[in-house]
Amino acid sequence: MTEISRRRGAGALRRNTLWCWAFLAPTLALYVMFNGWPIVSGLYYATLDWSGLSSSKEFVGLANFVEVAHDPYFWNSYRNSFTFMLGVVPIHLAIGLLIAVALNRKDLRFATGYRTLFFLPVVTTAAIVGIIMIFILAADGPINQLLLMSGAIKKPLDFLGNSKLAMGSVIVISGWKNLGTNIVYWLAALQGIPDELYEAATVDGCGGSRLFRHITLPLILPMGAVIALLNIVGSLKAFDLIKTMTNGGPFFATDMVATYIYRFAFSSEVGVPRIGYATSAGIFFGVTIIIVGALSNTLASRIKANSAK
Amino acid sequence: MQVRKKGFGMAALHLVLIAVLIAWIYPFVWMVGASFKTQAELFADRLGLIPASFSLENFIRAWSLANFNQYFLNSILVTASTVLIVLTTTSTAGYVLGRYNFAGKKIVTNILVASMAIPLGFSIIPIYQLLKILHLTNTRIGLILAESGGANIIFILLFAGFFRQIPKELEEAAIIDAASFPTIFRRIMLPLSQPIIGSVTIMQSIWSWNSFMLPLVLTLSTPRLRTLAVGLYALKGENSVDWAAIAAGGTISLLPIMIVFIFLQRYFVEGVAGSVKG
Q: Would the pLDDT of A103 be above 50?
A: yes
Contact between B49 and B33 under an 8 Å Cβ cutoff? The reply is: yes
Distance, in Å, from the CA atom of B230 to the CA atom of A235, rounded to the nearest integer, reads 21
* CA gap B33, B27 in Å, rounded: 10
Chain-centroid distance of CA B134 in Å reads: 26
Label residue A206 by pLDDT band (50, 70, 90): low
**Beta partners for residue A253, in sequence order:** none
- Contact between A163 and A253 under an 8 Å Cβ cutoff? The reply is yes
The pLDDT value given to residue A5: 46
Spatial separation of the C-alpha atoms in residues B248 and A130, rounded to whole Å: 15
Q: What percent of chain A has pLDDT over 90?
A: 42
* Residue A194 backbone phi and psi in degrees, to 5: -65, 140
**DSSP letters along A133-167, please?**
HHHHTSTTSHHHHHHHHHTS-SS---TTTSTTTHH
Mean pLDDT of chain B: 86
Structure confidence at residue A309 (pLDDT) = 57
pTM recorded for the entire structure: 0.89
pLDDT digits (tens, 9 = 90+) for B153-181: 889 999 999 999 888 887 777 777 777 88
pLDDT attached to residue B8: 79
Indicate the length of chain B as a whole number.
278
For residues A215 and A200, is the Cβ–Cβ distance under 8 A?
no
Which of these ranges, A23-27, A224-228, B1-5, B270-274, has the smallest mean pLDDT? B1-5
3-state SS assignment for residue A57: coil
Domain boundaries, given as residue ranges, for chain B = 69-238
Rounded CA separation A286/A280 (Å): 9
Say if residue A6's pLDDT is above 60: no
* Pairwise CA distance, residues A273 & A253, whole Å: 22
**What is the residue-level pLDDT of chain B in tens, covering all 278 positions?**
455 566 778 888 999 999 999 999 999 999 998 899 888 787 777 777 788 778 888 898 888 888 899 999 999 999 999 999 999 999 999 999 998 888 888 898 888 888 776 655 678 889 999 999 999 988 999 999 999 987 688 899 999 999 998 888 877 777 777 778 888 888 888 999 988 898 898 889 989 999 999 999 999 888 999 999 999 999 888 766 788 889 999 999 998 888 888 888 877 777 777 666 65
Q: Which of residues 222-261 of A touch B (CB under 8 A)?
A: 223, 226-227, 230, 233, 236-237, 239-240, 243-244, 257-258, 261
The verdict on a CB contact (< 8 Å) between B10 and A108 is: yes
Q: Contacts of residue A258 in chain B, CB cutoff 8 Å?
A: 121
Question: Which one-letter DSSP state was computed for residue A31?
Answer: H
Phi, psi of A59 (to 5 degrees): -75, 125
What CATH number belongs to B69-238? 1.10.3720.10
Give chain B as a 3 state SS string.
CHHHHHHHHHHHHHHHHHHHHHHHHHHHHHHHHHCCCCHHHHHHCCCCCCCCCCCCHHHHHHHHHCCHHHHHHHHHHHHHHHHHHHHHHHHHHHHHHHHCCCCCHHHHHHHHHHHHHCCHHHHHHHHHHHHHHCCCCCCHHHHHHHHHCCCCHHHHHHHHHHHHCCCHHHHHHHHHCCCCHHHHHHHHHHHHCHHHHHHHHHHHHHHHHHCCHHHHHHCCCCHHHCCHHHHHHHHHHHCCCCHHHHHHHHHHHHHHHHHHHHHHHHHHHHHHHHHHHC
Q: Cα(B65)–Cα(B216) distance, rounded to whole angstroms?
A: 20
Q: Burial of A38 by CB count in 10 Å (0-12 exposed, 13-18 middle, 19+ buried)? A: buried
pLDDT at position A270? 67
Q: Do B268 and A123 touch (CB under 8 A)?
A: yes
Window 41-80 of A: residues touching B by CB (8 A cutoff) are 41-42, 45, 52
Which residues neighbour B181 within 8 Å (Cβ) at sequence distance 6 or greater? A15, A16, A19
pLDDT at A190 over 50: yes
- Using CB atoms and an 8 Å cut-off, which of residues 108-147 of chain B contact chain A? 108, 111-112, 115, 117-130, 145-146
What backbone torsions phi and psi does residue A50 show, to the nearest 5 degrees? -150, 135
| E strands present in chain A | 48-49, 58-59
Has residue A166 got a pLDDT over 60?
A: yes
Q: Do B90 and A27 touch (CB under 8 A)?
A: yes
Q: What is the mean pLDDT of residues A255-282?
A: 88
DSSP conformation class of A71:
-
SS3 label, residue A293: helix
| Mean pLDDT, range A197-208, rounded to an integer | 72
Predicted interface score ipTM higher than 0.95: no
pLDDT at A1 (0 to 100): 45
Cα A234 to Cα A229: distance, rounded to the nearest angstrom:
8
Distance CA B103, CA A18 (A): 10
pLDDT, tens digit (0-9, with 9 covering 90-100), for A135-159: 899 888 889 988 998 888 888 899 9
The answer to whether A224 and A85 are in contact (CB under 8 A) is no
3-state DSSP assignment of residue A306? helix
Q: Do A133 and B95 touch (CB under 8 A)?
A: no
Query: Is B24 in Cβ contact with A136 (below 8 Å)?
Result: no
Contact between chains at B122 and A42 (C-beta distance less than 8 A) = yes
pLDDT, one tens digit per residue, over B94-144 is 999 998 888 888 898 888 888 776 655 678 889 999 999 999 988 999 999
Neighbours of B249 (CB within 10 A): 33
Q: Which of B14, B109, B125, B228 has the most A C-beta neighbours within 10 Å, making it the best mutation to test the interface with A?
A: B125
The answer to whether residues B240 and B130 touch, using CB atoms and an 8 Å cutoff, is no
Does A117 touch chain B if contact means CB atoms closer than 8 Å?
yes
Choose between A221 and A89: higher pLDDT.
A89
Angle in degrees, CA B195, B199, B201, rounded to 5: 110
Q: Report long-range pairs for B169-173 (Cβ below 8 Å, ≥24 apart).
A: B171/A4, B172/A3, B172/A4
Q: How far apart are CA B278 and CA B266, in angstroms?
A: 18
The secondary structure of residue A290, as a DSSP letter, is H
